[in-house]
Chains A and B, each alone.
Chain A
C-alpha cells in the first residue's frame, strides 16, 4: 500500500493576496488523499520551504521584497510551478498603478521600519520565475484546483462563461441603458445583457460554472480573457465587448464606452490588458492555461 510519505510532495506559497485562493483549495479535500502537503503556512506551522517539492502552487502577486525572495526560493526548490488565482497571473486585484489618483498617498504610507518594503507595483509571478501552468480565477473553484493538480493535460474547459450560464439571449429585448442592477429582481431565465447589466461573460474564460450569472449577478471577468484574447492588445477584448453590446442592445455608444473603462473591468480583464503591455513578460498561452 502506498504510504503518505510516498505521495507527491505538495506545497502552497502565498504571496500578497487575500487568502481566498487557499480557502478555495481547502474547500476540496480530494488532495488530502493524493498529495502529501509539506508547506502551507495558513494551515501547517512550518516556516521552512522543503527542498524537493513536486508541485508548488503560488497564489498572490509579488508586492513586497519578501514576496520576491520567497518566490525565487520556491521556484528553485520545486519541479512544477502552478500560478493560481488572478493575483498571481496578473499582479493583484488591488493595483494602485501609475496615474491612480491615490498613488502618491499610498506610496507615502507604504513603508514601515524593519518591515518588508512594498514594491512600486504588484507584479505577476511570471515576471520573475518560470510558470508551468496557469490557473486563473478569483478564486478558482475547488473543481478547477483538482483539475490543475490531477488532469491538466486532458482538461476540457468551456471557452466562455456564456456556455455554462444557461440564460437565454433574446433578440427582441433591447435595453437602452445599463441600469439593470437598479431595476429590481432580474428574470432568472434571460441573459443579463438583455436586462441591462454589464455582463462580461461573452469574453471571459469559462470553467467556473457561471457561478455569478446563474444567481443573477453580472460576470465581472475574474477568470480573465478567453483564449482568443490571450496576449492580445487590450483593444481586442474591448472591441469584442463593444460589438456584443451594440448587437444586443440600444445603449448609446458613449455609455458603452464609459462602462468599458470602468474599474469593474479593470479589476480583472484590465489586469490582463496591463499584462500584455509589458513587453518583458512571457506569453501566457492557452496550452498552459486551465
Chain B
C-alpha cells in the first residue's frame, strides 16, 4: 500500500489530504484537520453574556458570523427581539464578511491555481507579467478591502466585531459614513465585475486544460437564505434533495432531527450528513437554492450561470464561480442598504438575562452556522457550534476520491494529482479553525 500525504496551503488553518493506494487503486482519501481549537470546552462555565466576545476568536476568517450567531442564540434564550434597525445593520455586517471572504477565496486562494502560480503575490519574471500581476493583486486587495471596511463600519472592530450585542447594535451608521462607503462601492463595482469576468474566463480555460469541472454527482444541498430574498441574517434552513427539488425546511431549533453530526478518528474535525445523505453547503448550495437576488448584476450572472451549467448544477469547481456571483450581489446589496436610513431609530433594547436553551442561526460564507447554548445560573453549561465546513466534510472526501481515481492508474500517479487536490479542497473553501470542537 502507498500512502501519499499532501500538505495544504491557501486555505484557512492547518489541514492535509491523505490518499491510500492499494495495487494501483485508490482505496481511501481523507481530509484531516490537524489542530483543535477547543472552544466548546473552553466556554463551559463562563458567564453567558460574555461569550459573544469570546467566540469570534474561534476563527478570524468567520469571526463575524460567529459573533452574530452567538448574539442571536442569547437573544433567543433571553426572549428578546432586537429592533429592525439593528437587524439591518447586522445584515450589512454579514454582507461585508461575504465580500471579504469571497474576494479572499477567489483572488488570493484560488486564482493562482488558474494560472499555475504559487500566490497572488508571486513576483513574475517578465516586466509585462510583473505589471499585470501587480495590477491584479492591487485590484483584488481593493475589492477585498470594501468588505473589511463594511465590517468596521457595521461591526466596530475590523476582525472580531463588537457592535452587535445582545439586544441590538451599540451604535448606528451615520449618513456621511454611509455616503462615503456608497461612493467607494460605486467606484469599484465595475472593477469587481471585471475581475469576476476575468476569473470566470480563467476558470473555463483551466477546465479546458484539465478536462473536468470535478465531482459532479448530485448531492443534497443546505442553505439558510431564502429563494427570493438572499438574507444572511437568516431564520430557517432549507434542503434540496438529490433529485434537485427543495424537500425540507426547518428551524435551527430542530437541527438534531435532520442533521447527523459525528466525530471522526482520523481528523480533529467531525462530519455531518442529512439523515445519512452526503450534502453540500456554501456558495453552490445557495445558488442552487436561489431564484433571484433582487439586484440587477447578480441576477444577470445567476441567469448566465443557469443557462451555461443547468440548475441545479453539481460540479465542484462551480463553487468558485458562484462565489464570484455572490461577491457582485453583496456589493450591490450593501450599496442598496446603505442608501436607506441606518442612522435613526432605536438600535438596542434593554434586556434581563435568564436561564434556558437558545439557538442562533446565520448564513456564514461557508453555509448555515448554528450556535446552541445551555445556560444555568447565568453560566454556559454547554455550547454546541454547528459548523458549515463540517457539513461539507463528506462531500470533500467524495470529491477527493473522484479526483484521485482520475489521476491514479496502473501507469502511475499523475503529477496533476497534487494540483487537483488543492483545487478540490479550495473549491469548498473549508475553514479548519471552525471545524474543530
Residues of A within 8 A of B (CB): 4-5, 14, 16-24, 26-27, 29, 32, 36-37, 41-47, 63-64, 66, 93-96, 100-103, 105-106, 109-110, 112-116, 118, 138-139, 141, 181-186, 188, 211-212, 214-217, 220, 262-264, 267
Report B31-46 residues with CB < 8 Å from chain A CB. 32, 34-39, 41-42, 44-46
- Alpha-carbon separation in the docked complex, A42 to B105 (Å): 11
Q: Could you tell me if B347 and A20 are in contact, using CB atoms closer than 8 angstroms? A: no
B50 interface residue (CB < 8 Å to A): yes
A111 nearest CB across to chain B (Å): 9
> Which residue from chain A places its CB closest to the CB of B157 in the assembled complex?
A211
Question: Is B137 part of the binding interface, using a Cβ–Cβ cutoff of 8 Å?
Answer: yes
Q: Quote the shortest CB–CB distance from A119 to chain B (angstroms).
A: 11
8 Å CB interface, B88-132 against A:
104, 108-109, 112, 118-123
> Looking at the complex, which one of B59, B60, B61, B170 makes contact with A186 (CB distance below 8 Å)?
B170
Distance A116 CA – B33 CA, assembled complex (angstroms): 10
> Which residue of A24, A188, A217 contacts B158 across the interface (Cβ within 8 Å)?
A24
Q: How far is the CA of A96 from the CA of B437 in the complex (A)?
A: 13
Residues of B within 8 A of A113 (CB): 265-266
CB distance from B333 to the nearest CB of A (A): 22
B121 touches A215 (CB 8 A): no
Interface of A is mostly: loop
Contacting residues, chain A, for B61 (C-beta < 8 A): 18-20, 23
Q: Which residues of B contact A66 (CB under 8 A)?
A: 14, 34
Docked CA distance A149–B4 (Å):
38
Chain A residues in 8 Å Cβ range of B10: 41-45
Number of A-B contacts (CB under 8 A): 202
With beta carbons under 8 angstroms apart, the residue of B34, B41, B120, B148 that contacts A96 is: B41
Q: How many residues of B contact A (CB 8 A)?
A: 76
Residue of B34, B121, B351, B433 near A116 (CB, 8 A) is B34
Verify B158–A184 contact, CB threshold 8 A.
no
On chain A, the residues within 8 Å of B45 by CB distance are 100-102
Known: A4-B123, A100-B42. A211 touches B138 (CB 8 A): no
State which of B159-167, B221-229, B239-247, B302-310 sits at the interface with chain A.
Answer: B159-167
Can you list, as one digit per residue, whether each of B29-69 has a CB less than 8 Å from chain A (1) or not (0)? 00010111111011011110110011001111101000000
Report how far A4 CA is from B167 CA in the complex, Å. 51
21 A-B pairs within 8 Å (CB atoms) are namely A16-B14, A18-B57, A18-B59, A19-B433, A26-B144, A27-B145, A27-B158, A42-B10, A43-B109, A45-B118, A66-B14, A93-B54, A95-B42, A113-B266, A181-B167, A185-B171, A185-B347, A212-B157, A216-B170, A217-B163, A264-B53
Across the interface, which residues of A come within 8 angstroms of B138, CB to CB? 29
Q: Are A262 and B50 in contact (CB under 8 A)?
A: yes
Query: Contacts of B422 on A, CB cut-off 8 Å?
Result: 45
Does B352 count as interface, using CB distance less than 8 angstroms?
Answer: yes
